[in-house]
Chains A and B, each alone.
Chain A
């Protein structure tokens, strides 16, 4: 394992009495696309600002490339940030905006201009180089902001909800632009977003934050399949969450009895005892639906309440006899084969390895 590019060790950030970030431990590796995701006010921006030196940690250590950065001033770092508000200079042209950082680094006039134009071209807005920033569209400004940061050739780019001001179809386009750029340049992206779909679609690893704490770190797939706790399970949506008590233990698997019935789930290697509370999750797209009662450990009879269509996917909302809500996600054509109607009784089932017991509540 190579040294991480960035390490947070026990980092805290207080604003007076208010704790914005508490005891954060995080490694960021060179060349990865890391998304920091969480709802508004959970401390994402504060984390990013500490990385850029715009806030000093109240305690703990932040290292970049092994060097302690706590006291290093923002202008002495190579951590360009793409701002949520873009923060382009309205009194400068697009090209002058892109040149700004190079100018501060003492790059000569001709060289500056050449590199700025190169990046504006690369971002496909070369023709707007001499235009005043205020006359550009949202998407064009976005590209200027990216060029302004990337022209510095940083090892790491920080992005704070960069697409939140764009309309939906443009967001998809820019997501593609960003992921491609990151792969081409091979630099580290630290990407803050409140959008789960954005984080999961773009990032190699996702950090989920909640109230100043890291709730889980992992690849989108890991987080999606095996949420570490109830917060993440609920935040990620699409999950069926069932709580009960441990009825029996058998190596890697646990039988949990819940009001909807007894189910078998896989448990990570944390110690558990019979009679303890336990919660497990099953992703909605890993649940099968059938008319006939299925074989296997995990099955429950439910009543169909409603359906929700998104593209070719459909989400079924069902209820078990005890009133627990279940969600199932499937292809629309599979649903047509089943010929389901509301209030129909139907069996749900899932494999043991797809049911994960949460590490903790």
Chain B
């Protein structure tokens, strides 16, 4: 009786690292193991063979998908960062503290509803007979095909990331010491140039982290390319789905997943290193 109680208490006192091992590192190692399994007669069997790695990494369609995913996530990140910047800048420097609080609160609200539902709502707006084309039709334009295009994918990604990017950028830039902007002006810096000379260097870390988040979310997203992008150019998450469906190829799907994770690790590592690199001399 006493022993059991101790064990219970111990379990809760175990450091967070244990849970990390159990629920993150464990499954990850298991996935690595699976990538060496083989599938025979639609059944996965334990093995240690390089065949999945050889097959996947030598296929043109894998690399097409790989570079396409990086490309479209990169484009989406760039667009999100650029679209968000003017709004964040205004919220950080022009808005009152009160307005900024409300804006951040409102920007969190989209996360209350399912991303999937929000994505579906774009159907109504972007469809060939949807709201946008109807309006363009009024002035004699269109209809344009927007669903099942790269554009659709990017719109989907932005649905997921844009509010988050605005929040992160705003919070970062709101912390910029306004005296430094005035000091630059006092030394002859034109108003717009202060963005480049002062605001960006001071908010570099936060902006890179915002971009990194945006990229990670887009890179791993399945919903946008599937429902709005039409998946004719499959991104890696869609490739994973297709691979598991076709002939129960879980091991090959694991290869794709590991490649994705390795890519994200590399990019995240480089981004954080860049974010915290010291400007100027030591």
Contact = CB atoms under 8 A, between A and B. Distances in A.
Interface of A: 52, 54, 73-75, 79-81, 83, 85, 87-93, 96, 100-101, 104-105, 130-133, 135, 148, 152
Interface string B37-64: 0000000000000000000000000000
Interface of B: 177, 179-180, 182-191, 193, 197-198, 201-202, 204, 278-282
A109 to B, nearest CB: 16
B185 A93 contact: no
B187 A152 contact: yes
Q: DSSP majority for the B interface?
A: helix
Contact of B179 (A52, A87, A100, A104): A87
B238 to A, nearest CB: 42
B282 A132 contact: yes
A87 B182 contact: yes
Contacts of B193: 104
Contacts of B201: 89, 91
Given A80-B186, A85-B179, A100-B184, 5 more contacts: A91-B202, A91-B204, A92-B279, A100-B197, A104-B193
Nearest to B183: A87
B187 A80 contact: yes
A157 B181 CA distance: 19
Contact of B281 (A52, A54, A93): A93
A75 B188 contact: yes
Contacts of B187: 75, 80, 100-101, 104, 148, 152
Contact of B183 (A83, A93, A132, A152): A83
B281 A75 contact: no
Contacts of B279: 91-92
17 contacts: A54-B182, A74-B182, A74-B186, A75-B185, A75-B187, A80-B187, A83-B183, A85-B177, A88-B183, A89-B184, A91-B201, A91-B279, A92-B279, A92-B280, A131-B281, A135-B282, A152-B187
Nearest to A148: B187
Nearest to B198: A89
Given A132-B281, A135-B282, A54 B185 contact: yes
B280 A132 contact: yes
A130 B184 CA distance: 20
A87 B180 contact: yes
Nearest to B184: A100
A80 B187 CA distance: 6
A54 B202 contact: no
Contacts of B189: 75, 100, 104
A75 B187 CA distance: 6
A75 B190 contact: yes
Contacts of A148: 187
Given A92-B280, A93-B280, A135-B282, A87 B177 contact: yes
Contacts of A89: 180, 183-184, 198, 201
A105 B204 CA distance: 25
